[in-house]
Structure 1
């Protein structure tokens, strides 16, 4: 990434064929998801009908093939659009059009690549039934909502803030605990985060030196965002939308409002708290007095705003702070996207070749060291952002990336946190290519039913090749020389 880029006028124009290619892709993804996605144990729409075959045997294989064909078209259209945006042939209006029409089919698709949406709805039903979702898991319900929750989370309390639990309760109430209705309505609620992103990213690009069209293409039209955060219906989408809006408010000089909005993001999912110390630095540099006085004023103002908003949301929700200790529940996930977990798992594998030992101690030590390293990186980034302004947001993005990499548990869509904060920066061509590679790879490292593909090495080699092709295609229209149009 480079700083100081000049703003490029929006050239306008809509690349209809490229956008329609993406529409065809997401429609195939939605269609294939009916058999290959994170489907219901008993689907009232397909059960006992002539279409039930799509969930089993060759029918499911066909659905999987259709879904992956759709994913290929989505990636292809996104890369084609990115090439046009990078070359200045189309602007923000084209990207916004693509985002809208690529999102619509996913709003009505079965859950894709994750079963988390069932957990959200079950947690909302727990609270609606007068139980404490921060003390009991979905298993207490014995309802159609809890039946579809992954076995991993059946007895796990909710690790989400009061704002999100109130939204989940409202969705369950409005849909009368319907699983299908709840999935669709929850997606519409979470899509508010996408709308906030589309509103905030051009403004962030204006402050950070990037191009609005590039920011929208990178963070809002990205298949990693749309397929995982809309198709997978993750509350990260609402969190990053609020976080982006809050950062823009602070950069615009509306410091109290911005910190209040980021506090709401924190009350959805705790990760948003990473942005707050950096926003305080932006505020501090605009205050009168010595550096110490500036910091004291800004920290006091930011802390007061945070406490007022967070206390109000907690009291109005009728919930307590039990979600904060429940955050540790994610440590049950072990995969190599988390660097500490990867190191601990690898160390255990090597030692286990010589003597049989339990893996727990290796994971505990590695994750403990990873947490210390994360604290060190966060402190260094905060100190480096002392001058405030756009640099503070860049440092917040680096810290968010470190959080995703060094947390005890990491899932592919966690990298959306840093992507959103960094999207408004001025990206070099190499940077955009790297983003295209990793976005494509992270999109594909989970199987459509929500199971991880991180230990299927042949599959990983295949998607690494696909990701490399996407990376090269961002700058070369026909890298495989398959078309006569490009000599």
Structure 2
């Protein structure tokens, strides 16, 4: 039964989404919007005050409405309808929160016109829309896999001009969101989690509407393929054909964004039947390898995209914890007359730590997964053995994505949607991952201006202090172990 509070949240979110769309038309990431803008210059623009007022009010309404029902919507159907209502105004808005869609368009144009997007930047390739691309990305190779390059090229062919290409890219992103929405109920049931909670957290999140729908980020396609692959593995455990298909879907997700690869070891557990982890891993790995080889061969680009990944960290912002720590070390060095240039070092150390964390996390998840069917003394939490194992595997995958986001060289607000979807399906408590996603919704302005660029020193210090606080608080690993074994509400 829908309560008055839930209805108020629904329509407050609708008003918020409409305000965000209005902000987009007044000062969104339009093709002719001035690049390199600052919050001050946006304020001084003819429609600047109205743009910022609509944007901040709309974001606050949408975030507040989402937050108010973080324990779960009245029903799964209600959550889907509300998420759709919130997405409609953003579906017809200009690109919001980022100019990446123009980079996608030019990378697709580069490939469609016979050049290698992994060898040249879009400026050198002669893309006619290069002026719409953020300057930092005009001379860098594409950091995305061949699967997405093929989709971007298809958008260029179907769209013709820039506007048509952007529309086609948004259709592709929305298809990714719809695929994720289709898979969510089945995964929620398999993990013993209420669909009304999983759908609400994963689909109604403001980051989804603003950055995946309006911003047309390719993260939407990656998430759709990830959830689809996991769904196949979960619902047909131990079956070779299903595991091959699941591996292929996960492999396609990797060919969109390489960060999806961290989910694969946990997908093996999700698709294992009983103790057949090794055999399941072999079948799933075969499907993944087949998808990687097929997409690389079909595009004719081979594995040149791997080199492009190294340029994704050209942007330095304190929202990436390793980068923030590097900034603070540099500030401390400057106080004693030195220039340590610590950011590259802290980033490399963080990636090494990520590798260790992922291995330890899989090992821990595997041990918990094995005990999920151990009878009265096990960890089923009142669920069936299959649901308990599924929940453990999905939770491990979600934590792997959390570690990837936290320890990566760069963080953008839409990255928070990666773990959000899987933790919505598996986590016992929600505030710890819902709160950062809510905060991230305020980090960008409608034209793509990233507020982290203008709060470098205070942001880096604040992030470093937060990290120290969390490390001290979580120094006892028992907190993590008890959390992982708790059943979802």
Q: TM-score normalised by the shorter chain: which range applies? A: 0.7 to 0.9
1:348 corresponds in structure 2 to: 330
CA distance in structure 2 between the partners assigned to 1:82 and 1:348 by the alignment: 39
2:201 corresponds in structure 1 to: 218
CA distance in structure 2 between the partners assigned to 1:63 and 1:401 by the alignment: 33
2:473 corresponds in structure 1 to: none
Aligned partner of 2:249 among 257, 261, 266:
261
206-215 or 253-262: which moved more? 253-262
Go from structure 1 to structure 2 and tell me whether the alpha carbon gap of 1:306 and 1:433 turns closer, same or farther (over 3 Å shift): closer
CA distance in structure 1 between the partners assigned to 2:77 and 2:172 by the alignment: 24
**Equivalent runs, 1:152-167 vs 2, <5 Å:** 152-167=136-151
CA contact (8 A) 2:72 2:200 kept: no
Aligned residues: 425
Aligned partner of 1:134 among 90, 111, 118:
118
Per-residue deviation, residues 378-416 of structure 1 (Å, max 9, x unmatched): 001111222363212211111110011111122222121
Shift of 1:270: 0.7
CA distance in structure 2 between the partners assigned to 1:264 and 1:13 by the alignment: 41
CA distance in structure 1 between the partners assigned to 2:231 and 2:102 by the alignment: 32
1:482 corresponds in structure 2 to: none
**Equivalent runs, 1:360-375 vs 2, <5 Å:** 362-375=342-355
CA contact (8 A) 1:208 1:426 kept: no
CA distance in structure 2 between the partners assigned to 1:354 and 1:158 by the alignment: 39
2:269 corresponds in structure 1 to: 281
Go from structure 1 to structure 2 and tell me whether the alpha carbon gap of 1:19 and 1:12 turns closer, same or farther (over 3 Å shift): closer
Are residue 383 (structure 1) and residue 336 (structure 2) matched?
no
CA distance in structure 2 between the partners assigned to 1:383 and 1:273 by the alignment: 17
Secondary structure at 2:119's aligned position in 1? coil
2:101 corresponds in structure 1 to: 117
Per-residue deviation, residues 272-310 of structure 1 (Å, max 9, x unmatched): 1111111223344446xxxxxx44423322222112222
Aligned partner of 1:186 among 161, 169, 176:
169
2:455 corresponds in structure 1 to: 456
Per-residue deviation, residues 26-58 of structure 1 (Å, max 9, x unmatched): 122111112322222269xxxxxxxxxx99723
CA distance in structure 2 between the partners assigned to 1:352 and 1:297 by the alignment: 55
Shift of 1:418: 1.2
CA contact (8 A) 2:43 2:52 kept: no
Go from structure 1 to structure 2 and tell me whether the alpha carbon gap of 1:140 and 1:219 turns closer, same or farther (over 3 Å shift): same
Uncovered stretches (5+) of structure 1, i.e. residues with no partner:
1-10, 44-53, 288-293, 465-487
CA contact (8 A) 2:71 2:197 kept: no
CA distance in structure 2 between the partners assigned to 1:180 and 1:70 by the alignment: 25
> Normalised by the size of structure 1, how large is the TM-score?
0.81
1:28 corresponds in structure 2 to: 19
CA distance in structure 2 between the partners assigned to 1:273 and 1:135 by the alignment: 23
**Equivalent runs, 1:226-375 vs 2, <5 Å:** 226-253=209-236, 254-286=242-274, 294-357=276-339, 359=341, 362-375=342-355
CA contact (8 A) 2:146 2:296 kept: yes
CA contact (8 A) 1:381 1:396 kept: no
2:382 corresponds in structure 1 to: none
Are residue 404 (structure 1) and residue 405 (structure 2) matched?
yes
Per-residue deviation, residues 200-251 of structure 1 (Å, max 9, x unmatched): 1222221222111101111111002211222222101110111011111111
> Normalised by the size of structure 2, how large is the TM-score?
0.81
2:417 corresponds in structure 1 to: 416
Go from structure 1 to structure 2 and tell me whether the alpha carbon gap of 1:55 and 1:111 turns closer, same or farther (over 3 Å shift): farther
Per-residue deviation, residues 47-93 of structure 1 (Å, max 9, x unmatched): xxxxxxx99723222222122222222223323444662xxxx1011
CA distance in structure 1 between the partners assigned to 2:87 and 2:254 by the alignment: 25
Secondary structure at 1:331's aligned position in 2? coil
Shift of 1:142: 4.3
Secondary structure at 2:256's aligned position in 1? coil
Shift of 1:354: 1.2
CA RMSD of aligned residues (A): 2.5
CA distance in structure 2 between the partners assigned to 1:406 and 1:308 by the alignment: 29
Go from structure 1 to structure 2 and tell me whether the alpha carbon gap of 1:55 and 1:317 turns closer, same or farther (over 3 Å shift): farther
Aligned partner of 2:10 among 19, 31, 35:
19
CA distance in structure 2 between the partners assigned to 1:325 and 1:250 by the alignment: 30
CA distance in structure 1 between the partners assigned to 2:458 and 2:360 by the alignment: 38
CA distance in structure 1 between the partners assigned to 2:219 and 2:257 by the alignment: 7
CA distance in structure 1 between the partners assigned to 2:356 and 2:427 by the alignment: 27
CA distance in structure 2 between the partners assigned to 1:131 and 1:458 by the alignment: 40
Go from structure 1 to structure 2 and tell me whether the alpha carbon gap of 1:83 and 1:215 turns closer, same or farther (over 3 Å shift): closer
CA distance in structure 2 between the partners assigned to 1:395 and 1:262 by the alignment: 16
Secondary structure at 2:143's aligned position in 1? coil
Are residue 446 (structure 1) and residue 437 (structure 2) matched?
no
CA distance in structure 2 between the partners assigned to 1:167 and 1:283 by the alignment: 28
